[in-house]
Amino acid sequence: MVDLKSQYQKIKSEINNSISEVIESAAFINGSKVKEFQRNLESYLKVKHVIPCGNGTDALQAALMALNLKSGDEVITADFTFIATVEVVALLGLKLKFVDVNPETFNLDVSQIEKAITPDTKAIVPVHLFGQAADMDVIMKIAEKYNLYVIEDTAQAIGADYTLNNRETKKLGTIGTVGCTSFFPSKNLGAFGDGGALYTNDDKLAEKIRQITNHGSKVKYFHDEVGVNSRLDSIQAAILNVKLKYLDNYISARQKAAEYYDKAFKPHPNIIIPVRDEKSTHVFHQYTIKVQEIDRDGLKEFLNKNKIPAMIYYPYPLHLQKAYKYLGYKENDFPVSEELSKVVLSLPMHTELTEEQLQFITEKVLEYADR
């Protein structure tokens, strides 16, 4: 699905030098590279505070903790997302409220959010799935009306722009109360291991998040609250610092590959290409098609047999997962999410796709679709 080896080859000496600097300095934890990366990401995102942390899941957990969410508080999120988004909510003893998604954008169906709100609701967690924004204008409006926090899960959408109704363009993750992202190697800005970050324009919240990710401590060995240990290590920061410079190029490369796929599949009546939201750029963490009257699992198998990776994100809706049975949801509660899990297929998407590869992939998809 990704080609991290080829990507590395192109910037190998720059990356190796940056890693060497960390090793020579021996500042492995909270070294100057972490600070440098934090500042560079702040200016890239045009946000006041970036707080690096250990991974994207920790970022979501730290956000919920920093906002003082307590047992019994309710958190609304999409039923169609990666498990990390909901896991931390459950882990903190908060109550999960799923909402179905929009069949076109795969993101929160905003027309169903208000129905899920109760007096105990404290936050909405929109996930900008596959690299495109959830409907932030509407989500922010609902959040204001009911006085809710908005925690943006931007793990798949770093670098994407959103143009608000007031014509202001902002990076995803900087619109809500706090944004959370992941630097997992296959994400659009990937480290060589785990990494994550939170972003916010709120000074007080930023301070609280820093404290929480540092054992609840501002002054060493004095702990004002229960925290966690979640840091971005200096070697990962050194790598990310180099790769951040190329992020916009990486995004363009993904968008170009997506255009190639679009052109090939658009004429086909049974392949539905990803819909573009006019308010958001799409950074294509995944290129995900929907099929109709085509055996989706057969297509996946056929591609895999031809050495083309293809993945189902996500094969089973969250409200039906064994671990979340206790919430009491049942089949047909979220029909769109259930249907999507049966018809979506993600094709190889990364920064190094050649025209030759794209031609081969699209030919094989069409071959199966037409038989």
Ligand X SMILES: *Cc1c(COP(=O)(O)O)cnc(C)c1O
Establish if 126 lies at the interface with ligand X (CB under 6 A).
no
DSSP 94: P
Q: Least distance to ligand X from the beta carbon of 56, Å?
A: 2
Range in contact with ligand X (rule: CB under 6 A) among 64-72, 149-157, 199-207, 274-282:
149-157
Establish if 155 lies at the interface with ligand X (CB under 6 A).
yes
Among 18, 77, 105, 156, binds ligand X (CB under 6 A): 156
Establish if 152 lies at the interface with ligand X (CB under 6 A).
no
Per rule CB under 6 A, count of chain residues that contact ligand X: 15
CA nearest to 71, candidates 126, 120, 10, 128: 120
Among 106, 130, 184, 261, binds ligand X (CB under 6 A): 184
Range in contact with ligand X (rule: CB under 6 A) among 27-35, 148-156, 160-168, 213-221:
148-156
Among 15, 127, 158, 291, binds ligand X (CB under 6 A): 127
Range in contact with ligand X (rule: CB under 6 A) among 19-27, 50-58, 101-109, 207-215:
50-58
Residues 133, 172: contact at Cβ < 8 Å? yes
Q: Least distance to ligand X from the beta carbon of 154, Å?
A: 8
Interface map 62-101 toward ligand X (x if CB under 6 A): -------------------xx-xx----------------
As a whole number of angstroms, the distance between CA 34 and CA 145 comes to 38
Residues 28, 235: contact at Cβ < 8 Å? yes
What six digits make up the tokens of 359?
Answer: 């031609």
Q: Which residue is nearest to ligand X (CB)?
A: 56
Establish if 190 lies at the interface with ligand X (CB under 6 A).
no
Q: Which residue has the tokens 């296959």?
A: 186
Of 55 and 341, CB closest to ligand X: 55
Those residues whose C-beta lies under 8 Å from the C-beta of residue 125, and which sit 6 or more positions away, are 60, 75, 76, 77, 78, 85, 89, 150, 151, 152, 153
Please provide the distance, in angstroms rounded to a whole number, between the alpha carbons at the two ends of the chain.
25
Those residues whose C-beta lies under 8 Å from the C-beta of residue 326, and which sit 6 or more positions away, are none
Is the bond into 162 cis (omega within 30 degrees of 0)? no
Q: Which residues of the chain form contacts with ligand X (CB under 6 A)?
A: 55-57, 81-82, 84-85, 127, 153, 155-156, 182, 184, 194, 196
